[in-house]
Amino acid sequence: MSGPHSAARKRPNIIYIVADDLGNADLGCYGGRDATFGPVSPEIDQLAARGMRFTQGYSNSPVCSPTRFAIMTARYQYRLRGAAEEPIRTNTRGNAELGLPPSHPTLPSLLREAGYRTALMGKWHLGYPPHFSPLQSGYEEFFGPMSGGVDYFTHCGTCGQHDLWFGEEEKQQEGYLTDLITDYSLDFIERMAEGAKADAPFFLSVHYTAPHWPWETRDDEPLARELAASQQAIYHLHGGNVETYRRMIHHMDEGIGRIMRTLEAHGLAQDTLVVFTSDNGGERFSDNWPLVGGKMDLTEGGIRVPWVAHWPNGIAAGRVSEQTCMSMDWSATMLDLGRAPAHPAYPLDGVSLAHVLEGVDAPATDRPLFWRMNHRGQRAMREGDWKYLRVDGIDYLFNLRNDERERANLAPVLPERLQDMLTRWEAWNDSMPAVPGDATVSLCYTDKDMPQR
């Protein structure tokens, strides 16, 4: 599985940073505008300037927990029952079926078998104890919420129930969650630093909940108490604004800067691969320009996300790639660079991008990428410049090179190309488990900017 150039180089430490509901153009390095307080994402922008930025990168799903199944397994999430939930809901707590099976090999479990130390600091959203947890799926340490979203101060989820865990034990901890995730990440790096200088690299997942609602900055603890008192849990439909949203991203960005400075202080920055992305496209206050749609949509705004990779000893600075890729490919890449072979009974769907990162003189990998959503009967396929999309029973064909906004439906004028992509999507879909009849779809998300009848 390892690429031809990875074996000779020291295995990198790996830090995998995942934002929550971040829009494609929210970051300065992706064309995002400054806020009133200044640049929104200067630390991430520096990672991109000193590393590599992908312009045609995707999430495996336009909603959170399905993408996280793909991140963890390096496989299409549709292979697992829990990923059919769009997303896994808080009221399924205790369900023995809806989660990541501990028996399934994962990115952290395979890296751990290859000698990596592993930790997840932040959001899990792949099922609840006692049946599921990060510690049962390859992580040695865990701090964060098990559910899809919690208040930044009270750490209560959508049902108003406290949801902050240390391993498999719930505990109270004061503090703004974005900063707590950063703090625990720094603590892990500090403790792993000496081993990492020898032959015990670490794999650290830093899964922020920012900028997911509720719309709270570090200064908004009174608002959190108000939401709790009014029994709104984290639902904040009457609140928020663009400036608050940008400040939430900025708090996360500041934490990433702290992580990078800690790596530098321990002499680890050169040998650490840092990857930044989002679990899906943006929502409500996000900027997806020029893309259309957002979370829950298979239009580009729901699945095209930032992908930034920084690794001084492995990636030349200032590179931009149009290589198409999706979440599971990055997990396959990390396994490749960590020289952690896949389990033979669970072959990967993801394809390693190691040769792209290392600048190997090889043609870009061009394979079809597939998506499906129970919500609105959506389906999508991307191959080269072409995209096939179905929403509410209507088929669309777009040339993304010419029309990233997916406004010019070429289906009526190119019926043969449409039929070819439709046929191949259906053949791929037949290779996946069917969507269970009892799978649920969240009703918390809107369908703005989706193609309509």
- The model's pLDDT over 251-263, given as tens digits with 9 standing for 90+, comes to 999 999 999 999 9
Q: What are phi and psi of 186, to 5 degrees?
A: -65, -40
Residue 374 has pLDDT above 90, yes or no: yes
Residue 71 has pLDDT above 90, yes or no: yes
Q: What is the pLDDT of residue 136?
A: 98
- What's the rounded Cα separation, in Å, for the pair 201 and 15? 11
**Partner residues linked to 118 by β-bridges:** 203
362: confidence class by pLDDT, cuts 50, 70, 90: low
Q: Are 123 and 91 in contact (CB under 8 A)?
A: no
178: confidence class by pLDDT, cuts 50, 70, 90: very high
156 secondary structure, DSSP code: B
Q: What is the pLDDT of residue 446?
A: 43
Residue 352 has pLDDT above 70, yes or no: yes
448: confidence class by pLDDT, cuts 50, 70, 90: very low
pLDDT greater at residue 137 or residue 236:
137
Residue 451 has pLDDT above 50, yes or no: no
> What is the sign of the dihedral through the CA atoms of 50, 54, 60 and 62?
positive
* CA torsion, ordered 141, 144, 149, 153, to nearest 10 deg: -170
b/e for 142-163, b at 16 or more Cβ within 10 A? bbbbbbbbbbbbbbbbbebeeb
Q: What is the pLDDT of residue 5?
A: 45
Q: What is the pLDDT of residue 46?
A: 98
Q: What is the pLDDT of residue 8?
A: 63
Average pLDDT over residues 307-319: 97
Q: Which residues contact 209 (CB under 8 A, 6 or more apart)?
A: 20, 122, 123, 145, 149, 150, 152, 177, 178, 181
Give the whole-number percent of the chain exceeding pLDDT 70: 94
Mean pLDDT for all residues in the chain? 94
What is the SS3 assignment for 204?
Answer: strand
Per the listing, tokens 């899990």 go with 124
Q: What is the pLDDT of residue 212?
A: 97
> Which tokens go with 127?
């099922």
Short-list 20, 24, 211, CA closest to 125: 20
- The model's pLDDT over 191-235, given as tens digits with 9 standing for 90+, comes to 999 999 998 999 999 999 999 999 999 999 999 999 888 877 788
Q: Are 124 and 166 in contact (CB under 8 A)?
A: no
Average pLDDT over residues 131-160: 96
> Which tokens go with 265?
């202080």
pLDDT greater at residue 7 or residue 240:
240
237: confidence class by pLDDT, cuts 50, 70, 90: confident
Q: What is the pLDDT of residue 422?
A: 98
361: confidence class by pLDDT, cuts 50, 70, 90: low
> What is the sign of the dihedral through the CA atoms of 3, 5, 11 and 13?
negative
62 secondary structure, DSSP code: S
Q: What is the pLDDT of residue 3?
A: 42
- What's the rounded Cα separation, in Å, for the pair 410 and 238? 39
Average pLDDT over residues 401-421: 98
Per the listing, tokens 């108490």 go with 225
Q: Are 71 and 18 in contact (CB under 8 A)?
A: yes
Residue 443 has pLDDT above 70, yes or no: no
Short-list 10, 29, 17, 52, CA closest to 256: 17
